[in-house]
Amino acid sequence: MQTKKGQSIEDASMQMIEDEVGEHHYNEKEWAIVRRIIHSTADFDFVGKNKLIFHKEAIKSGINALKNGCSIIVDVNGVIGLLNKQNPKDFGNKLVCKISDPEIMELAKKENKTRSQVSMRTAKSEIEGGIVAIGNAPTALLEVIQMVKEGIVKPALIIGIPVGFICASESKEELCKLKQVPFITNIGRKGGSSSAAAIINALYKLVKAESFS
């Protein structure tokens, strides 16, 4: 719960973003998500060269999944650390991050894969019908894409916004080619835990807005 002072600071920040961006091509719900990312990163490139890309069913599918108590599967604990913790409690959403599980390291060594890849593969039961949010590991995103192609899982939404230099941009390009599952991603190398968490936090705000409309 925000304090009155905290809310006033957030409101002022959002207005500054509105004023600085001006006109844009996003619809109302998309803009709520993009604006939240800018608020979290102070990076206006998410409107320009690193713009967000929304599958046409992404927001609707994400909202419905959250309302129905879906699991939220992330690549690193940093994403969970940046979420508003009350929201998952309110809607019964399980937060899943297996990257630090001891067996993940052993399995990754055995299979010559990254821990991120293995953590996604071992979370397949939670991924089915869930929301996958990847902010750091391109290999995690590529693994989820492969799992979808194999017919192993069908998440309600993939948030694929990994930051980095090796395969970050390429993994997002592969996500954009995926036809079976709604997704939210962006162009280029930028992204990260703060961006992935901002998208989830924004989706929760949209869920609550629908509840009171």
Q: Identify the pLDDT of residue 50.
A: 85
For the chain, residues with pLDDT lower than 50 are none
Q: CATH no. for residue 112? A: 3.40.50.10230
- Has residue 11 been placed in a domain? no
Q: Identify the pLDDT of residue 10.
A: 87
pTM of the model: 0.95
Q: How many domains does the chain have?
A: 1
- Has residue 102 been placed in a domain? yes
39 is catalytic: yes
Choice among 24, 25, 39, 55 that is catalytic: 39
- Has residue 31 been placed in a domain? no
- Has residue 186 been placed in a domain? yes
- Has residue 29 been placed in a domain? no
Q: Identify the pLDDT of residue 213.
A: 54
- DSSP track, 186-212: ESSS---HHHHHHHHHHHHHHHHHHHH
CA 109 to chain centre: 27
- Has residue 106 been placed in a domain? yes
Contact 132, 147 (CB under 8 A): no
Q: Identify the pLDDT of residue 92.
A: 97
99 contacts: CB under 8 Å, gap ≥ 6: 75, 76, 77, 115, 116, 119
- Has residue 10 been placed in a domain? no
Domain range enclosing 177:
53-212
CA distance 93 to 38: 25
pLDDT digits (tens, 9 = 90+) for 149-189: 999 999 999 999 999 999 999 999 999 999 999 999 999 99
State the helix-helix crossing angle for 28-41 and 193-212, rounded to 10 degrees.
140
- Has residue 21 been placed in a domain? no
